[in-house]
Amino acid sequence: MWIIPLAVIFVFSVYIFLIFPVKPRKEDSLIFTKRSYAHRGFHDNENGPSENSIEAFISAAKHGYGVELDVQLTEDKQPIVFHDSNLNRTSGIDKNIREINYEELKTIKIFNRDQIPLFIDVLDHYDRSLPIIIEIKSEGNREWVDEICRTTYELLKGYSGIYCIESFDPIAVGWFKKNAPHVIRGQLASHRKNYQGSTNPITAFLLQNLMLNFISRPHFIAYDHESDCFNLFLMKLFKAIIFRWTIKDEKRHHELEGVSDGLIFEGYTPNSIWK
């Protein structure tokens, strides 16, 4: 009779081991929480600064927002701030970022207006008193993941502002756990249907349910605001910081203020800090 209770305890222990986050320091909670974060900067791709442009980050700082941005590598291993793996949506050029060097990239405009910036240039222009959420775009093999994490962190070593890192890839987040454990790190996640085409169904299920946290041991979870899972509820019990992304409606923003620690938004003008 004792075998069944022991088996249940064992399975439950393994389950907790898989999902358990790291409790953030109190000072980090105060710095990063109760804030609105402008998604790819405070931008308007039709009539204002383009997404992930230096102008969009300057505009966000003027409003007192934190920002969320995306870092990836060019062919010649230059860390740039850009979201898509391909230039087609923003520039009408069917070419992957990983297949183009930065000298050529400098000649290409985002939505016919703004230049794709180097990560170091964004760090130089953004207000150091406001927090940055840095998403590591780690598409590629293990070697490429190590390269983008190392290159990004080398630039961050000289940055005196407030920042944390996040990624959909637990291996990228785990790189910071191993090599820069003092850096606040977060696990991005969404419903498994949103991973179609990028990974297999089993991995998508594990990612949705935060069951690869044992690799990344995140301080915070950044979860799609349209999705939920039971393990997200457990993260709150474990005192992890919870961010939700990307809210595009002010009413939804107000609904989530009371149940989230930080909100990544786009397309409207919310309060920068809330009670």
* Region of poorest pLDDT, from 3-7, 48-52, 159-163, 266-270: 3-7
In the structure, what pLDDT confidence band is assigned to residue 207 with cuts at 50, 70 and 90?
Answer: very high
* Second-level CATH architecture of 3-265: Alpha-Beta Barrel (3.20)
pLDDT tens string 55-70: 999 999 999 999 999 9
pLDDT in the model for residue 1:
65
Query: What is the total residue count of the chain?
Result: 275
Convert 154-191 to b/e letters by CB count within 10 Å (16 or more is b): eebeeeeebbbbbbbbbbbbbbbbeebeebbbbbbbbe
Q: Could you give phi then psi for residue 195, rounded to 5 degrees?
A: -95, 0
Q: Looking at this protein, which amino acid is placed at residue 216?
A: S
Q: Where are the domains of the chain?
A: 3-265
Report the relative pairing of strands 114-115 and 109-110 from DSSP bridges: antiparallel
Query: How far out from the chain centre does Cα 131 lie?
Result: 13
Alpha-carbon distance 110 to 117, whole Å? 10
**Six-digit token pair at 62?**
């003027």
CA torsion angle 16 17 19 21 (round to 10)? 110
